[in-house]
């Protein structure tokens, strides 16, 4: 790992401020003043900033209320990403992405095994969405959604889903997979269009009213151990 990245993850400094600290000789590795922020550091190195020994945080598990217009991948030149909403996010990745125009619950972590448990199709983790539709559903469309529909380019139909009608054009959908753009493709397959999409929960973790769009918090131990 580069030194500036290490400092950023071990403190609340941005990588730019970390490089500035190195420039001003505030950083030492094994009691030797460092002159370049680009050098790699080893797990056995003792790194200090202003004389204080630094260490990386442990595994992190975060829930974020994703606003519309943010993407879940890095490097998009047209949209801001969700990582910009989290402090010290360099080592984080998303466990279950959402489209830019989809809002709601996003999980972020630096624990690869945990994110695999969240997203693995074999675990059939429930994902609940609030869906706004262009048209009201008829009985045939409801039956097809609930029993599984064939998606374009897929060999197998979707797993059976649970559909709760909230109003004429608003439903709550529970699915147990995470195929690419799955919710939108499911409704398109039965002749409807999704005009609004919000993820309410993943497994036992529910997005509550305590988090406004753009806000986040650490998962409780009970929450992250439930996967």
Looking at the DSSP assignment, which residues form a beta bridge with residue 80? 70
Domain 126-202: CATH superfamily is Alpha-L RNA-binding motif (3.30.70.1560)
Domains 3-53 and 126-202 share a fold: no
Question: Does an H or E element contain 146, and which?
Answer: helix 139-147
Residue 88 dihedral angles phi and psi, to the nearest 5°:
50, 60
Q: What pairing do the DSSP bridges indicate for beta strands 103-109 and 194-202?
A: parallel
CATH number for 3-53 (one of 3.30.9.30, 3.40.50.880, 1.20.120.1200, 3.10.290.10): it is 3.10.290.10
Tell me the H-state helices in the chain. Answer: 3-10, 15-23, 112-119, 139-147, 182-189, 221-224
Q: List the Cα angle 158/163/168 in 5-degree steps.
A: 125
Sorted by where each begins, the domain ranges of the chain are: 3-53, 61-120+207-224, 126-202
139 among known catalytic residues = no
CA atoms within 13 A of residue 151's CA, in its CB half-sphere = 17
Q: Which of 81, 90, 91, 99 is catalytic?
A: 99
Architecture of domain 61-120+207-224: 2-Layer Sandwich (3.30)
Give me the tens of pLDDT residue by residue for the chain, a chain 227 residues long. Answer: 899 989 988 898 889 999 999 999 999 999 999 999 999 999 889 999 999 999 887 899 999 999 999 999 998 889 999 999 998 888 899 999 999 999 999 999 999 999 999 998 888 899 999 999 999 999 999 999 999 999 988 989 999 999 999 999 999 999 999 889 999 999 999 999 999 999 999 999 999 999 999 999 999 999 999 99
Among 5, 11, 3, 9, smallest CA distance to 29 is for 3
């Amino acid at each position: 790992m580069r030194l500036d990245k290490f400092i950023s993850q071990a403190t609340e400094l941005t990588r730019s401020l970390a490089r500035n600290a190195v420039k001003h000789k505030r950083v030492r590795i094994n009691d030797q003043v460092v002159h370049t922020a680009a050098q790699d550091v080893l797990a056995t190195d003792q790194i200090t900033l202003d004389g204080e020994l630094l260490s990386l945080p442990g595994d992190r598990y975060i829930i974020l209320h994703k606003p519309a217009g943010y993407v879940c991948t890095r490097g998009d030149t047209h949209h801001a990403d969700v990582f910009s909403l989290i402090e010290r996010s360099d080592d984080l990745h998303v466990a279950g992405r959402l489209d830019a125009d989809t809002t709601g619950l996003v999980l972020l972590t630096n624990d690869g095994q945990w994110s695999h448990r969240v997203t693995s199709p074999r675990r059939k983790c429930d994902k609940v969405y609030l869906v706004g539709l262009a048209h009201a559903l008829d009985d045939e469309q409801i039956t097809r959604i609930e029993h599984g529909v064939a998606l374009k380019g897929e060999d197998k139909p979707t797993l059976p889903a649970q559909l709760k009608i909230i109003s004429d054009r608003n439903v709550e959908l529970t699915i147990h997979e995470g195929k690419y753009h799955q919710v939108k493709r499911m409704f398109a397959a039965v002749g409807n269009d999704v005009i609004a999409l919000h993820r309410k929960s993943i497994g036992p973790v529910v997005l509550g009213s305590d988090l406004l769009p753009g806000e986040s918090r650490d998962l409780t131990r009970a929450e992250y151990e439930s996967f």
